[in-house]
Amino acid sequence: MASIHQTALVDPAASIADDVEIGPFCQVGPDVVLDKGVKLLGNVVLTGHTHLGENTVVHAFAVLGGPPQHLGYKGEDTKLIIGKNNTIREHVTMNPGTVSGRGQTVIGDNCLFMAATHVAHDCIVGNNVIMANNATLGGHVIVSDFVFMGGLSAVHQYCRVGIYSFVGAAALVTMDVIPYGSVIGNHARLEGLNIVGMKRRGTSRQVIHDIRAAYRLLFAREGTLQERIEDVTSMFSHSKEVMTIIEFMKADSSRALCTPRG
């Protein structure tokens, strides 16, 4: 049987696994689903069609599933889906999707959302993502696996942030960030590759060498971008990591690519 503090307000229609722990002064709405191992540590508000995956832990004053901050939202039954093994710290806010967008906001597994981070409507956040204090995602943003966002950073609506990339503290991202890229500044520009992150994840020296060489060619001044993409595709077709960058750059997007300064 779930452990529910006597001061918590839990709607009887909510779906709650037997071993869930709900601390003091929490509020859980009727359309909330809490999978096994979920812990709400106190003063947590869960509302709307919100689903928390196994072993996710939510700290005080987080508000998950509140109405999207979107003038077009008229109370539709859109969703917030949060995966397994996530840590959601104090004052975090996450909104569900909108009918004009994806209809749902989706969070992957094994993520850390530090205090006061915000995930807006219709975002997709991958696995093993870290958002440091006060980092913010605008609506419709896609954040891939293993991304690190520094404190006070922000990503403009509809941008994409590629796998293993790094967004520096207080950076304002208004364009797409390539996989393995490192961006800083306001407005953020590409400052190189997230070599530290790759090494921490055990990426081999050869793979790092290939990504570095491809990066230099892709952002060289000679030729057009399309010509450079074709050259890199030909030279590094053996490298799935480089091909991940190429596929990201070739994909349809409403945003331009974040490029180096100068």
176 close to 160: Cβ distance less than 8 angstroms: yes
Q: Which of 122, 140, 168, 210 is catalytic?
A: 122
Distance CA 143, CA 141 (A): 6
Distance CA 25, CA 34 (A): 17
Q: Which of 49, 51, 59, 121 is catalytic?
A: 121
Number of other residues whose CB lies within 10 A of the CB of residue 7: 12
Distance CA 106, CA 165 (A): 19
Any catalytic annotation for residue 121? yes
Any catalytic annotation for residue 140? no
Among 50, 40, 178, which Cα is nearest to 107's?
Answer: 50
Contacts of 91 (CB under 8 A, 6+ apart): 60, 61, 62, 115, 116
Q: In this structure, what DSSP letter does residue 200 have?
A: H
Annotated catalytic sites, by residue? Answer: 121-122, 139
